[in-house]
Amino acid sequence: MQTLLYALVTIVPVLAILIVVHELGHHLVAKWFGVRVDTFSVGFGKRLFGFRMGETDYRVSAIPFGGYVKMAGENPMEQRTGASDEFMSHPRWQRILIALAGPFMNIALAIVLLTGLYMFHHEYDPFADKAAVIGTVDANSIASNAGLQVGDTITMIDGQANPAWEDVSTKILLNSQANIGLAVLRNGQNVNLSLSPQGHLPDELGFLPEAPSVVTSVDGSLPAGKAGMKEGDIIVSLDGKKMHSMTAIQGYVRSHGGVPIHVGIDRGGNPVELSLTPVMATVDGKQTYRIGFGSNRILKVDRLSLSDAFSLSVETNSKTSFLVVEMLGKLLQKKVNLKQMDGPIGMARATGAAVQFHGWNTLVQIMALISVNLGIMNLLPIPILDGGLILLTLIESVIRRDINQRVKERIYQTAFVFLVLFAFTVVFNDVSKLPFITKYLQ
């Protein structure tokens, strides 16, 4: 119940801000060109409250998920007078700019949000852009069944050479329903493999990147503490064998019982070796062998200058934009599943979890992500959306005349039905992902 409350409390203002910014773009450019704006609404349906300024009714309506700007003479299914302040009375290039203004404002907002965030809190995984060396492969996982092994370096995936880990995750996400060709470097030899995600997300395939095991905690009552291990030590090897991850270290310790282990350590650039004998201890209610240190994933945090923050924000949002477009293309190719897309319920869960568990910086990142998605999706060449209006206007520019009014009506009616069905499908997928629904379906 508390999680639901967080979701509701956060998603409504987040969507309201994104919608206001989007519609404000249309509104300002329309006003600039002298188009009369009759209504500026946050939400759909019945008017709840608002005010009138000049010729425009600024209102909040009953259904909060959406909003619109109603310009005079914009709707092809309404009667037009031909007045100079009507939308269709203006040159086509002005109509295109009015349509572009909404998505542009959403993308600009995402850039502003991330720029501000990076200036105060730039949190990142220092290994996300490193070579894709595999540190852990779970037994009987999709990764192990594909033939991946600890120590493999992924040198090619889906046609991309020398990918970093973030590239590997992106390629898997974009091909979750397909067989992905990849090559790995193993003991100096190139090995070609095929990975089939079977609809799973990258972190569900059973393999993790190689990452230095930096000691972040030491139990003074166990062998590691007694032998002088320190926080900040980097575990390099056990009994001379290179360890690629903390999971590998834990598995090695548990499998060797009470036999002494020679631990190779990098301490500030100096090699140190300790001999530790694992002892039986209780972990999560179970008896297992331990040597007494912990190593948590370390994220780096810094503050960027305005110019650096802006550059990184533009780069990040550009990647997100191309990812959205590529995802839509893969969706048409049936290489990704529609279930991977989140609707309002999924967005509410994400924003609620950000506020409840992760903090404001994650909420800002999610808000920027939703804003970019909103901008890109509105540019799709589907009538009713901004991209559809732009497409029809460009067609009219090419044929040098307006499309027949009745034809336009049929196009908009068909597009409306399509969007309603699409929205229903996305919301249905959202509902099916809810924990209590998932449990029921199982």
Work out the mean pLDDT of the chain and round it to a whole number.
Answer: 84
Interstrand relation of 293-294 and 56-71 (parallel, antiparallel or unpaired): unpaired
**pLDDT tens digits, residue range 359-374?**
678 888 889 988 998 8
Lowest mean pLDDT among 238-242, 253-257, 289-293: 253-257
Beta bridge partners of 110: none
Over range 147-155, report the average pLDDT.
Answer: 91
Using pLDDT thresholds of 50, 70 and 90, give the confidence band for residue 7. Answer: low
**pLDDT tens digits, residue range 31-86?**
999 999 999 998 888 999 999 998 999 999 988 767 889 998 887 666 677 788 99
Fold of 134-207: Pdz3 Domain (2.30.42)
Domain locations along the chain = 2-120+345-441, 134-207, 213-296
Lowest mean pLDDT among 6-15, 52-61, 110-119, 235-244: 6-15
**pLDDT of 110:** 96
Interstrand relation of 286-290 and 213-214 (parallel, antiparallel or unpaired): unpaired
One-letter amino acid of 38: D
Using pLDDT thresholds of 50, 70 and 90, give the confidence band for residue 108. Answer: very high
Is domain 213-296 given the CATH code 2.30.42.10 in the classification? yes
Lowest mean pLDDT among 76-85, 112-121, 255-264: 76-85
Same fold, 134-207 and 213-296: yes
